[in-house]
Amino acid sequence: MSNDLFTVPEDWRKNAWCDDARYQKMYEESVNDPDAFWTREAQRIDWFEPFSKVKNSSFNGDVDIKWFLDGKLNVAYNCLDRHLENRGDQTAIIFEGNEPGVEEKITYRQLYERVCRFSNVLKSCGVKKGDRVSIYLPMIPQLAVAMLACARIGAIHSIVFAGFSPDALANRITDAECTILITADEGLRGPKAIGLKEAADEAMDKAGMVKKCIVVKHTGADVPMKAGRDVWWHDLTAKESTECPPEHMDSEDPLFILYTSGSTGTPKGVLHTTGGYIVYTSLTHQYVFDYHDGDIYWCTADIGWVTGHSYIIYGPLANGAVTIMFEGIPNYPDFSRFWQICDKHQVNIFYTAPTVVRALMQQGDEPVKATSRKSVRLLGTVGEPINPEAWLWYYRVVGEERCPIVDTWWQTETGGIMITPLPGATDLKPGSATRPFFGIQPALIDKEGNQLDGPGEGYLVMLDSWPALARTVYGDHRRFKSTYFIQCPGTYFSGDGARRDEDGYYWITGRIDDVINVSGHRLGTAEIESSLVAHPAVSEAAVVGFPHDIKGQAIYAYVTLSSGFEPSEELRKELSLFVRKDIGPIATPEVLQFTDSLPKTRSGKIMRRILRKVACNELDNLGDTSTLADPAVVEALIKNRIDAC
């Protein structure tokens, strides 16, 4: 792994919310005196009635987690109403459409009115507090309106990424028992229109339980409307009032259900509640992104993922920020689009995923250099380990060595960012998520269940709860307990492996399910993949283990080449040697397959469990493939697989 150290620039240290001394002080308070810390930090939120106790949580027994007990509040009120007095006319959301030139700026007052109107629509459709509402919308303002309206009236939203298949949508509707579905005629992704209503119709036929389907007219495509069930968004909203009192919610009332990405298996319907979630997302959004009033903030995730929930909508709007919602994709009309948007809207804070960084890096520096990016002050990543090579490219080419990078480790289940640099406080090491956020107590556990001290590598767990931790898996508390709290009793088990270095920095080594055991040496996927990506010919790599007579397991590497490079026997040998020299003989790939693309989840994460099946020739049982972005990729992989078992 990279040993480079990027120290905090002087102006950052002076002007950020937190320098290192302050980070240390706040962190210590947050773990030594959580009551004092969280009582103070919870004041960033407006409470209708104060909480009586900071927390009451146990990771043992039935696993019961409660924060800010007896507090009454409303998340939509905190994201909208309380901003009206001072920033009613300030932009809340900048909508940037799929086509350049299509944009809309929505002020806090306008957003408030739209949310109230739609809250009344939901009520008139019979939606009550605690009911689940399924939302299957593209990245258009109505998506933000719909989720905030649910929050306003106490309904629980379950957002399904608008690229998912009818089957995937039907499963999520059924699992969360939704009787209302909100969708659009079509979504736009680059040159393609996606038939959302068509997919929704198929899903509703399968799921059966949907009584009302509210449809946004987005592209104007002609779509069938089923009498008695399907209604137009604009027809319903036209007659409703722009006032709707917010429901007084208990801290522990559910806010939303969201299904995990499905990288490791069947997605879990993670349930988040109200008080702890909004305190934590607001606090992390401020400190991790060093958000100050007036900053233009852009997170490129889709709201269908937790990143979009916490850091496009809830965290930023609770803080009164200007947040950008982008409907399109990074390469439409061309590979400069993201940077053009940064220039157009004078973006200060930019947050994306390693998969996007690698894809843009593959196109070379020109599309980036064609733009200014002078407004950008801070860069961020989330979703996978970022290979140091990609980090350095992001840092040098995109950020022109001026912008710190916050590599944020967290999960759907954690609700908010857990391990991350704070840009004014933390010296950076490419590929490391660095240090825990306030209130987060990570630990490393070995195979025998012992907690490691000092530097070392093991299973990443959390010793105590934090406000935004999920409370259960919807309808399946037993799965919640068995997935996260059984492996290392008394701790939250993340399912990821990590290494802690001499400076106490955390490096995510990969998923525990993906660890490869070569001749008794346990190897994380991240290090080997990063080594491959460090070779100029490689743009992306994924490694898995397969059974080997002598070594127990050997390494099968899948490699995607940068533009300008062709597969060859020579290059294959060169890459194996490169890893061997970089990490050691133990990490040398036994087999190396070139491929045009890797199988990824819809959120862009590499699905190693599929690659493992291909490597091991277990082709008739690929597991849950419903969250796969492009099934055709798997066929190509199988066609070109190298038999080594």
One of 251, 411, 539, 595 touching ligand ATP (CB under 6 A): 411
409 binds, among Mg ion, ligand ATP, none (CB under 5 to 8 A by kind): ligand ATP
613 binds, among ligand ATP, Mg ion, none (CB under 5 to 8 A by kind): none
User: Was 411 annotated as part of a binding site?
Assistant: yes
Determine, following the binding rule CB under 6 A, whether residue 496 of this chain makes contact with ligand ATP: yes
Cα–Cα distance list, 59 to 108, 444, 472 (Å): 39, 17, 12
User: Was 385 annotated as part of a binding site?
Assistant: yes
- Least distance CB 609 / Mg ion (angstroms): 12
By CB under 6 A, the count of residues binding ligand ATP is 25
By CB under 5 A, the count of residues binding Mg ion is 1
Determine, following the binding rule CB under 6 A, whether residue 407 of this chain makes contact with ligand ATP: yes
Determine, following the binding rule CB under 6 A, whether residue 599 of this chain makes contact with ligand ATP: no
User: Was 521 annotated as part of a binding site?
Assistant: no
Placement of tokens 């009635």 in the chain: 49
Nearer to Mg ion, 110 or 483 (CB): 483
Determine, following the binding rule CB under 6 A, whether residue 505 of this chain makes contact with ligand ATP: no
User: Was 117 annotated as part of a binding site?
Assistant: no
What's the token pair of residue 214? 């509210």
Placement of tokens 């400190």 in the chain: 287
Nearer to ligand ATP, 41 or 384 (CB): 384
Nearer to Mg ion, 142 or 260 (CB): 260
User: Was 191 annotated as part of a binding site?
Assistant: yes
User: Was 580 annotated as part of a binding site?
Assistant: yes
Per CB under 6 A, the segment of 40-48, 170-178, 381-389, 577-585 that binds ligand ATP is: 381-389
Cα–Cα distance list, 586 to 38, 521, 526 (Å): 47, 8, 15
Nearer to Mg ion, 132 or 511 (CB): 511
- Least distance CB 282 / Mg ion (angstroms): 24
What's the token pair of residue 253? 């009332």
Nearer to ligand ATP, 495 or 567 (CB): 495
**Residue of 144, 120, 130, 119 lying closest to 273 (CA atoms):** 130
Q: How far apart are CA 32 and CA 23, in angstroms?
A: 14
- Least distance CB 335 / ligand ATP (angstroms): 24
User: Was 500 annotated as part of a binding site?
Assistant: no
User: Was 265 annotated as part of a binding site?
Assistant: no
Determine, following the binding rule CB under 6 A, whether residue 382 of this chain makes contact with ligand ATP: yes
Q: Are strands 254-259 and 269-273 parallel, antiparallel or unpaired?
A: antiparallel
Q: What is the DSSP code (8-state) at residue 262?
A: -
User: Was 172 annotated as part of a binding site?
Assistant: no
Determine, following the binding rule CB under 6 A, whether residue 260 of this chain makes contact with ligand ATP: yes
Nearer to ligand ATP, 263 or 310 (CB): 263
Measure the N-to-C terminal CA separation of the chain; round to a whole number of Å.
Answer: 30
One of 72, 511, 572, 641 touching ligand ATP (CB under 6 A): 511
Q: How far apart are CA 63 and CA 38, in angstroms?
A: 21
Beta-carbon contacts of 193 under 8 Å, excluding residues fewer than 6 positions away, are: 186, 187, 219, 221
Q: How far apart are CA 189 and CA 304, in angstroms?
A: 14
Supply the DSSP string of 47-91, one letter for each residue: -SB--SEEEEEESSTT-EEEEEET-EE-HHHHHTGGGHHHHTTSE
**Residue of 117, 124, 115 lying closest to 231 (CA atoms):** 124
79 binds, among Mg ion, ligand ATP, none (CB under 5 to 8 A by kind): none
Determine, following the binding rule CB under 6 A, whether residue 262 of this chain makes contact with ligand ATP: yes
- Looking at residue 397, its amino acid is V
Determine, following the binding rule CB under 6 A, whether residue 431 of this chain makes contact with ligand ATP: no
Q: How far apart are CA 138 and CA 121, in angstroms?
A: 20
Nearer to ligand ATP, 215 or 417 (CB): 417
User: Was 535 annotated as part of a binding site?
Assistant: yes
Placement of tokens 């980070």 in the chain: 23
* Residue 552 φ/ψ region, left for φ over 0, alpha for ψ in the -120 to 50 degree band, beta for the rest: left
Q: How far apart are CA 442 and CA 179, in angstroms?
A: 39
Q: How far apart are CA 397 and CA 405, in angstroms?
A: 13
Determine, following the binding rule CB under 6 A, whether residue 525 of this chain makes contact with ligand ATP: no
Q: How far apart are CA 278 and CA 250, in angstroms?
A: 12
Nearer to Mg ion, 373 or 602 (CB): 602
Determine, following the binding rule CB under 6 A, whether residue 261 of this chain makes contact with ligand ATP: yes
Determine, following the binding rule CB under 6 A, whether residue 408 of this chain makes contact with ligand ATP: yes
- Looking at residue 596, its amino acid is D
Q: How far apart are CA 439 and CA 32, in angstroms?
A: 9
User: Was 347 annotated as part of a binding site?
Assistant: no
Placement of tokens 């004041």 in the chain: 43
Please give the residues from 244 up to 263 whose contact with Mg ion meets the rule CB under 5 A.
Answer: 260
- Looking at residue 479, its amino acid is R
407 binds, among ligand ATP, Mg ion, none (CB under 5 to 8 A by kind): ligand ATP
One of 285, 605, 608, 613 touching ligand ATP (CB under 6 A): 605
Neighbours of 481 (CB within 10 A): 17
- Contact positions vs Mg ion (CB under 5 A): 260
Query: Binding-site residues, please?
Result: 189-192, 307, 331, 383-385, 407-412, 496, 511, 519, 522, 533, 535, 538, 580
Query: Binding-site residues for Mg(2+), please?
Result: 533, 535, 538
- Contact positions vs ligand ATP (CB under 6 A): 260-265, 267, 382-385, 407-412, 433, 494-496, 508, 511, 603, 605
Query: Binding-site residues for CoA, please?
Result: 189-192, 307, 331, 519, 580
